[in-house]
Amino acid sequence: MSTNQELSIKGTVSLEDFLKYNTYHSKTFTSIYFLISFIILWALGILFELPIPNDLLVWMIVSIPKAIQALILTILIFFALKKLLKRRATKEYESDQLLKTEINYKFNSEKITNK
Answer yes or no: pTM beyond 0.75: no
Mapped onto helix, strand or coil, the DSSP state of residue 45 is helix
Secondary structure (3-state) at 91: helix
> What local confidence, expressed as pLDDT, does residue 1 receive?
46
Task: Go through the chain and tell me how many residues it has.
Answer: 115
- Residue 54: pLDDT band (50, 70, 90) is confident
Are the beta carbons of 78 and 84 closer than 8 angstroms? no
- Within 13 A of 68's CA, how many CA atoms are on the CB side? 5
Closest to 25 measured CA to CA, from 75, 88, 72? 88
The mean pLDDT value for 31-44 works out to 93
Greater confidence, 21 or 108? 21
Task: Return the higher-pLDDT residue of 50 and 95.
Answer: 95
Confidence class for position 6, pLDDT limits 50, 70, 90:
confident
